[in-house]
Structure 1
Amino acid sequence: METGRDRILVTLVGSLPRSQAVTDVLFARERGESLDEAAAHATIADAVKDAVRRQVASGVDVVSDGEMSKISYATYIKNRLTGFAGDTPREPGQDLVEFPRILKRLADTGATAKYTRPRCVAEIRVNDLQPAQTDVDNLKAALADSTALEGFLNAASPGVIALFQPNDYYSTQDAYVEAVAEAMRAEYELITRAGLLVQIDAPDLAMGRHTMYRHDTVNDFLNSAARHIEVLNHALRNVPAERARMHVCWGNYEGPHHHDVPLEQLLPVVVKAKVQALLIEGANPRHEHEWAVFRDARLPEDKVLIPGVISTTTNYIEHPLLVAERLCRYADVVGRDRVMAGTDCGFGTFAGFGPVDPDVAYLKLKSLAEGAAIASDRLWGRR
């Protein structure tokens, strides 16, 4: 994994806005419609190349495929694994339950995606690894034509798959999560064998507290999160830690977030994941102050921190000086060589939906890179 050299490197959580052409392909596949698959493949492959090109032009060092082939970061697995079918009613977080007008506004403005969330109705096994292989091939082709330092592909954590796709088949939730983990292991290993980084997307470790586990005590939730980490680590047993990163967030939406579990309680669980890099929200105004958590609870020496220093829920473009200030706070407490600049979450969590204008998303990435350069000059004493 590329880490600090003589500057702070720049990356992102992963997803980027999809074009209408890409969105049309994804929703046609979602509906099971007949497609010209050669043309559909070319649409996605070209979109990946464009996403990588625009990331590099914005100053991003470690790039993603923008999740162009995925309708969402968790439900994309329904055809890659067996055992999923049907749909599941949406279950909003406790903060939105308490403010139904905000929930309705988010739905009315397109911030709530309208795709199926299947349920587990049969045994979970690997069904088809070709979509993951195609993702690998598309990103590697795009990287071959770019100056990016490195590339990564997102993959859902076992816990977040279980969070979004309820279990109607396995006798216990533990058995369900274990089955999902064993099936996802093949995707994690395929990505890293290809020379790419795998990013485990695990909002179940934070957002899960005020959604699926909102009726549990904090201790019960933390025990569940710890169990999810154990199962994830087993699924990553053949993946070197330095080839893996993990994203943790409290939900990529503009809401009150007043029921979010504090990072202070969550961090001791999260740092046990078998990954080198942790991507954790830091621009979210409910959590920006939590940079201090890393001052009081030391980050393990083998970890790299990628704090979110720009928001993915607003069209405000953060000033590079603000980005630099945020990065320097983290660098001062964990060391300049163990910090990378990142985003709070993805810009295209769901295909066809999202609050940030596509062009603004790339301008925010440009500001992220400019802020990282300013922070680097300060931290390495160049100005």
Structure 2
Amino acid sequence: MKTSTDRILVTLVGSLPRSQAVTDVLFGRERGEPLDEPTARATIADGVKDAVRRQVASGVDVVSDGEMSKISYATYIKDRLTGFAGDTPREPGQDLVEFPRILKKLAETGATAKYQRPRCVAEIRVSDLRPAQTDVDNLQAAIDAAAPAEGFLNAASPGVIALFQPNDYYRTQDDYLEAVAEAMRAEYELIVNAGLLLQIDAPDLAMGRHTMYRHHTADEFLRSASRHVEVLNHALRNVPADRVRMHVCWGNYEGPHHHDVPLEHLLPIVLGARVQGLLIEGANPRHEHEWSVFREQRLPEDKVLIPGVISSTTNYIEHPLLVAERLCRYADGVGRERVLAGTDCGFGTFAGFGPVDPDVAYLKLKSLSEGAAIASERLWGRH
């Protein structure tokens, strides 16, 4: 994983707004409609190339494919693994359950994505690695054209797959987690063996508290989170830790979030993951104050922090000076050479949905890079 000894590098969580053409392909595939597949594949590849080009133009160093091929960050696995079928009713977080008007508003404005969320109904095995290989090929072609510093691909954690796709087949939840982890191992290794960074998306380690585990005690949730990390580490056993980063978040939606588990309780568990990079939310009003946690709990020497310093749920474009101020706080806590500038979450978590205008998303990335440059001047003393 690239780091820098003279400036703060810029990255993002991963997903970006899809064009209408890309969205039409994804929902056409979701509905099983007949598509001209060569044209569909070219549409996705062009979407990746455009996303990488725009990231580089905005000043992003470590780029993603924008998750152009995925309708969502966790349910895409039904096309790559056996054992998933059907649909699952949405279960909103406890914060939204307590404020039904907000839940209704989010649904009416399109913030609640309308796509199938399958269940585990049979044995889970690798079905088809070709979609993952296509993601690799598309991103590598885009990197060759735009020449960023580095690229990464997102992949769902075993825990978040289990969070959104309930188990109707395996005897225990533990058996289910282990089966998912072993199946996802192939995708994890494919990405890293291709020379790209792997980003594990693991909102189960934070958002899981007020969704799947909302009826559990705090201690019960933390034990479950520890088990999720243990299973993830087993799936990553053949992957060098310095080729992996992990994103942890409390849910990419504008809601009360008053049931979010504090970072200070999560951090000891999260730091046990076999990854070098840790991406956390740090820009939204519920978690911005938690930069101070890294003064109280030491970040291990072999890890790098990638805090979110711009929000992914508002069309406000953060001022570069605010971005710089946020980054300097983290750098003061963990060291300037172990901080990269990131986003709270993705700008296109679900295809066709998202509160941030696509053009605004890239302007926010530009402000992110400008803020990182200001922070670098302050931290390294250049004028």
| TM-score, with length taken from structure 1 | 1.00
Preserved CA contact (<8 Å) 1:304 1:339: yes
Partner of 1:127: 127
Are 2:185 and 1:190 aligned?
A: no
Matched to 2:130, the amino acid is Q
**SS of 2:54's equivalent?**
helix
Matched to 1:46, the amino acid is D
For residues 147 and 81 of structure 1, the distance between their equivalents in structure 2, rounded to whole angstroms, comes to 32
The Cα of 1:169 is off from its aligned counterpart by 0.3
Are 2:242 and 1:242 aligned?
A: yes
**SS of 1:18's equivalent?**
coil
Partner of 1:326: 326
Identity of aligned residues (%): 86
Partner of 1:15: 15
Partner of 2:233: 233
The Cα of 1:319 is off from its aligned counterpart by 0.1
Partner of 2:4: 4
For residues 28 and 177 of structure 1, the distance between their equivalents in structure 2, rounded to whole angstroms, comes to 30
Preserved CA contact (<8 Å) 1:281 1:307: yes
Structure 1 unpaired stretches of 5+: none
For residues 23 and 79 of structure 1, the distance between their equivalents in structure 2, rounded to whole angstroms, comes to 17
The Cα of 1:130 is off from its aligned counterpart by 0.2
Preserved CA contact (<8 Å) 1:4 1:336: no
Deviations 1:300-341 (A, max 9, x none): 110000000000000000000000000000000100000000
Partner of 1:268: 268
For residues 79 and 139 of structure 2, the distance between their equivalents in structure 1, rounded to whole angstroms, comes to 21
Are 2:159 and 1:159 aligned?
A: yes
Deviations 1:69-92 (A, max 9, x none): 000000000010000000000000
Are 2:56 and 1:56 aligned?
A: yes
Matched to 1:262, the amino acid is P
Preserved CA contact (<8 Å) 1:15 1:65: yes
Matched to 2:154, the amino acid is N
Are 2:189 and 1:172 aligned?
A: no
Are 2:117 and 1:117 aligned?
A: yes
The Cα of 1:5 is off from its aligned counterpart by 2.7
For residues 149 and 301 of structure 2, the distance between their equivalents in structure 1, rounded to whole angstroms, comes to 23
Partner of 1:376: 376
Deviations 1:11-33 (A, max 9, x none): 00000000000000000000111
**SS of 1:145's equivalent?**
helix
Matched to 2:12, the amino acid is L
Partner of 1:150: 150
For residues 81 and 65 of structure 1, the distance between their equivalents in structure 2, rounded to whole angstroms, comes to 21
Preserved CA contact (<8 Å) 1:233 1:273: yes
Partner of 1:355: 355
For residues 46 and 105 of structure 2, the distance between their equivalents in structure 1, rounded to whole angstroms, comes to 34
**SS of 2:146's equivalent?**
coil
Deviations 1:225-244 (A, max 9, x none): 00000000000000000000
**SS of 1:330's equivalent?**
helix
Matched to 2:365, the amino acid is L
The Cα of 1:147 is off from its aligned counterpart by 2.2
The Cα of 1:4 is off from its aligned counterpart by 2.0
| TM-score, with length taken from structure 2 | 1.00
The Cα of 1:290 is off from its aligned counterpart by 0.3
For residues 350 and 33 of structure 2, the distance between their equivalents in structure 1, rounded to whole angstroms, comes to 19
The Cα of 1:284 is off from its aligned counterpart by 1.4
The Cα of 1:146 is off from its aligned counterpart by 1.4
For residues 333 and 97 of structure 1, the distance between their equivalents in structure 2, rounded to whole angstroms, comes to 36
Deviations 1:268-302 (A, max 9, x none): 00000000000000001100000000000001110
Matched to 1:135, the amino acid is D
Partner of 1:289: 289
Matched to 2:117, the amino acid is R
**What is the 5 A alignment of 1:218-229?**
218-229=218-229
**SS of 2:198's equivalent?**
strand
Matched to 2:131, the amino acid is P
For residues 329 and 262 of structure 1, the distance between their equivalents in structure 2, rounded to whole angstroms, comes to 19
Return structure 1 stretches of 4+ with deviation > 3 angstroms.
Answer: none
Preserved CA contact (<8 Å) 1:83 1:124: yes
Structure 2 unpaired stretches of 5+: none
Are 2:272 and 1:280 aligned?
A: no
Partner of 2:301: 301
The Cα of 1:135 is off from its aligned counterpart by 0.1
For residues 346 and 36 of structure 1, the distance between their equivalents in structure 2, rounded to whole angstroms, comes to 29
Are 2:168 and 1:205 aligned?
A: no
For residues 361 and 174 of structure 2, the distance between their equivalents in structure 1, rounded to whole angstroms, comes to 38
Partner of 1:106: 106
**SS of 1:221's equivalent?**
helix
